[in-house]
Amino acid sequence: MKNKIRVHRAIHEITQEDLAAAVRVSRQTILAIEKGKYIPSLDLAFRIANYFRVPLEELFIYEEVNED
């Protein structure tokens, strides 16, 4: 799963810490999502998309991967 969180953070000029606080997760989780090491739950993905006021598919690009 690819995502454009870093791009949207840059557009909105906010830090990982700010975004993490806004969506109620740790900064490390935002970092892991940005790096593609962690795929967020649907709930968290919607919270991030709502924060940036963009559709989910604008923020996350689905790619089939072998989980585990």
Partner 1 sequence: MNRNTYYIFTGIIALILVGILWWSIEIGNPLPIEIAFVLGVVLIYLIRSRISSIIEDERYSRITEKAAVRTLEVFWVIFFASSIGAFVTSLDKHPFPPPIPRGPAGGFPIRMFGLVQLILLCTMIFLYVGFRIYYSRKYGEWDTDEE
Binding residues for partner 1, per CB under 8 A? 15-16, 20, 24-26, 28-29, 31-32, 35, 37-38, 40-41, 43-44
Least distance to partner 1, CB of residue 16, Å: 6
* Cβ proximity of 39 and 7 under 8 Å: no
Three-class SS state of 60: strand
Least distance to partner 1, CB of residue 49, Å: 16
Rounded CA-CA distance 22/61 in Å is 22
Least distance to partner 1, CB of residue 57, Å: 21
